[in-house]
């Protein structure tokens, strides 16, 4: 998540702040489809980064569209 890097966070520091492991946060960051996470977790991440949760949701949607377009070509 580019947002935590802009705020001076590391993945480990952000994970600690929201109470999860850096490995789990990494899976969320990669939108790993094999692992689900709650909307509450998404809100915790957004709150820690001081951004609107909609930015995280829009980012995921945009990435999915890009992947679908690339797979067509």
Report the CATH superfamily, name and number, of domain 2-72: lambda repressor-like DNA-binding domains (1.10.260.40)
Q: 16-71: per-residue pLDDT in tens?
A: 999 999 988 888 877 665 667 788 888 898 898 888 888 877 776 666 666 666 77
Between these two residues, 3 and 46, which has the higher pLDDT value? Answer: 46
On whether the CB atoms of residues 15 and 24 are closer than 8 A, the answer is yes
Q: How far apart are CA 19 and CA 22, in angstroms?
A: 9
Confidence of residue 5 (pLDDT cuts 50, 70, 90): low
Answer whether 0.75 is exceeded by the pTM.
no
């Amino acid at each position: 998540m580019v947002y935590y890097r802009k705020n001076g966070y590391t993945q480990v520091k952000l994970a600690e702040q929201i109470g999860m492991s850096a490995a789990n946060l990494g899976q969320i960051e990669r939108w790993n489809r094999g692992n689900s996470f709650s909307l509450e977790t998404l809100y915790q991440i957004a709150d820690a980064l001081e951004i609107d949760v909609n930015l995280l949701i829009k980012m995921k949607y945009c990435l999915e569209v890009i992947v679908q377009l690339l797979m067509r070509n």
